[in-house]
Amino acid sequence: MAVRKDNKGILFTLPALGLLGFSILLPFLAAALMTLTNQRMLTPNPTEFVGLENYSRLLSVTVREVPREIDQQGEPVVDADGNVVYQRLQPILRSDPELRAYQTLTEFDVGPRRYAILAKDLVFWRALGNTFFFVLLVVPIQIGTALGLALLVNQDFRGRTAFRTFFFAPVVTSMVVASIVWSFLYNENTGLINQLLGAIAGSGVVAINWLGSEALALPSIAIMSAWQGAGFQMLIILAGLQSVDQQLYEAARLDGASRWQQFRHVTLPGLRNTLIFVVIATTIAAFGLFIQVDVMTQGGPNDATATLIYHAIRSGFREQDVAYGASVAVIYFLLVLAVALAQRRLTRSADER
């Protein structure tokens, strides 16, 4: 490429770099510094350097064995079904000064023994797990939907512009509005979805607690997010489809390839770069899940929808613990960075192949 060397080129980048420096780098450095202090939003106490205390509270994890319940004879208690009965761990932790700050994250069995994973900031680990879970849910749902839609509206038929517009309509609906409308749709008692399901099933009352149950809340948010976002990916994939060489299809047809074979051997390879881009963009956006949670569930029930960003904003702004909120944010950034780097590496190795 005939690109000239000219150091004046830097001048063109300065306004944007200055703005990015101000709105991203500066606050980012500020956040990184803050994490080493105990800064609060409003306090008469001076801000102090506390080293890695915030991170240690955030990241401390340890494993302990859960003791069995012992009866008066000193025998392990077994319940009616023959299962071993374990003691409730929390009172034990609270009586041990070393473990007092810990809570049980989860328990697991190894042979006859039961172990508990303990963490100081339970919500952080839940939020971390939820964030990954959400990404794993929403990326395939959203991109799968988008791909399907794109294939449907890529054909030549009357009204395809109208259908594209229909599928894109949720994208121009703001996430705040979408979340408000969907809170109504998802409502257990009066929500449209349960009512429609009831009408379809004909049995009257369907009472699925979409946002109120730990198991369903995050998938519900994922479905709603995919609904809102799929139209955008559809357009990008559509663009990719249109750049696939039509001659390849003709050649495939001449070879007697079925529609599926055409899709598998012409469309998908032709879309490779588009799909990689779409996956990166969707993944990064999904990691930042916040608005839906803030409007629809506030992190509940039982932290089932707490996400990293939600945890950062709740600690840093609503609870005024700026330093701690910033620590969550920094960890979050490192994770997104790792994912982005991993994806870049994948793209590169695929390129070389």
Partner 1 sequence: MRARRRLFHYALLGVLSLVFLGPLLFMISASFKPDEQIFEDLQSFRAFVPVGDITLDNYRAVFEQSRLLLYFLNSSIIAIVTVVFGVIVNSMCAFGLQRVRWTGQSFIVALILALLVIPFEVLAIPLMMIVSQLPWIAWHNGELTLLGSWFNSLHVQIIPFLGNAFCIFLFYQFFKDIPTDLDDAARMDGASLWQIYWRILMPNAKPVIATASIILFLIMWNQYLWPILVIQGQDTRPIMVGIQQFFGRTLVWGQIMAYATIVTLPVLAVFVFFQRRFVQSVANTGLKG
Partner 2 sequence: MIRCSLLLFGIGLLSVTAAADPVEIDLWRHEAEVVELTASLEAVDRFNAEQDQWRFSVETLPQVTYTSAVTAAALAGQLPCVLDLDQPVVPNFAWSGHLRALDTILSTEQLDALSEGAKGTYKGAVYSVGQFEVVLVLFARKSELQRYGIRIATMESPYTADEFREALRLIKRESPEKFPLDLNAKDQGEWLPYGFSPWIQSAGGDLIDRNSYRRADGYINGDAAQAAARWYQSLFEERLAERKTFVDAQALIQGRAIFHYTGSWETNRYTQAFGDDLVIMPPPDFGNGPKAGAGSWHWGISSTCKHPDAAQAFLEFLLRPEEIAATSSARWQIPTTEAGATLTENYREGGKWRKLYEYSRSYAVKRPATPGYPKISAAFEKAMMDIRFGKNVEDALNVAADAIEFDVERNRGYGFSN
Name residues contacting partner 2, limited to 75-114 (CB under 8 A): 88, 90, 94, 100-101, 103
Partner in contact with 326, chosen from partner 2, partner 1, none, beta carbon below 5 to 8 Å by kind: partner 1
Partner in contact with 312, chosen from partner 2, partner 1, none, beta carbon below 5 to 8 Å by kind: partner 1
From 17-25, 124-132, 257-265, 318-326, give the range in contact with partner 2 by CB under 8 A. 318-326
Alpha helices in 24-121 (DSSP H): 26-34, 53-59, 89-95
Chain centroid to CA 297: how far?
A: 15
Chain centroid to CA 340: how far?
A: 14
**How many C-beta neighbours within 10 Å does residue 150 have?**
26
Query: What are the residues whose beta carbons fall under 8 Å from the beta carbon of 163, sequence distance 6 or more?
Result: 152, 153
Distance CA 149, CA 242 (A): 14
What's the CA dihedral at 33, 99, 89, 77 to 10 degrees? 150
Helix axes 322-352 and 122-154, enclosed angle (nearest 10): 40
Distance CA 245, CA 88 (A): 64
Rule CB under 8 A: is residue 231 a binding residue for partner 2?
Answer: no
Rule CB under 8 A: is residue 288 a binding residue for partner 1?
Answer: yes
Interface of this chain with partner 1, residues 174 to 213, rule: CB under 8 A? 174-178, 180-182, 184-185, 190, 192, 195-196, 198-199
Query: What are the residues whose beta carbons fall under 8 Å from the beta carbon of 93, sequence distance 6 or more?
Result: 99, 100, 102, 103, 104, 118
Of 252 and 328, the one with the shorter C-beta distance to partner 2 is: 328
Query: What are the residues whose beta carbons fall under 8 Å from the beta carbon of 319, sequence distance 6 or more?
Result: 325
x/- contact string, 91-130, with partner 1 (CB under 8 A)? ----------------------------------------
From 68-76, 112-120, 122-130, 283-291, give the range in contact with partner 1 by CB under 8 A. 283-291
x/- contact string, 123-162, with partner 1 (CB under 8 A)? --------------------------x--xx-x-x---x-
Among 14, 20, 26, 41, binds partner 2 (CB under 8 A): 41
Chain centroid to CA 149: how far?
A: 23
Rule CB under 8 A: is residue 187 a binding residue for partner 2?
Answer: yes
How many residues form the binding site for partner 1 (CB under 8 A)? 99
Rule CB under 8 A: is residue 166 a binding residue for partner 2?
Answer: no
Partner in contact with 313, chosen from partner 2, partner 1, none, beta carbon below 5 to 8 Å by kind: partner 1
Burial tier of 262 (Cβ tally within 10 Å: 0-12, 13-18, 19+): middle
Of 212 and 270, the one with the shorter C-beta distance to partner 2 is: 212
Rule CB under 8 A: is residue 264 a binding residue for partner 1?
Answer: no
Among 164, 220, 221, 306, binds partner 1 (CB under 8 A): 164
Residue whose pair of structure tokens reads 């761990």 in the numeric block: 89
Among 51, 75, 77, 163, binds partner 1 (CB under 8 A): 163
CA distances from 303 to 63, 283, 289, 311 (A): 21, 22, 14, 10
Rule CB under 8 A: is residue 177 a binding residue for partner 2?
Answer: no
Q: Least distance in Å: CB of 82 to partner 1?
A: 48
Partner in contact with 219, chosen from partner 1, partner 2, none, beta carbon below 5 to 8 Å by kind: none
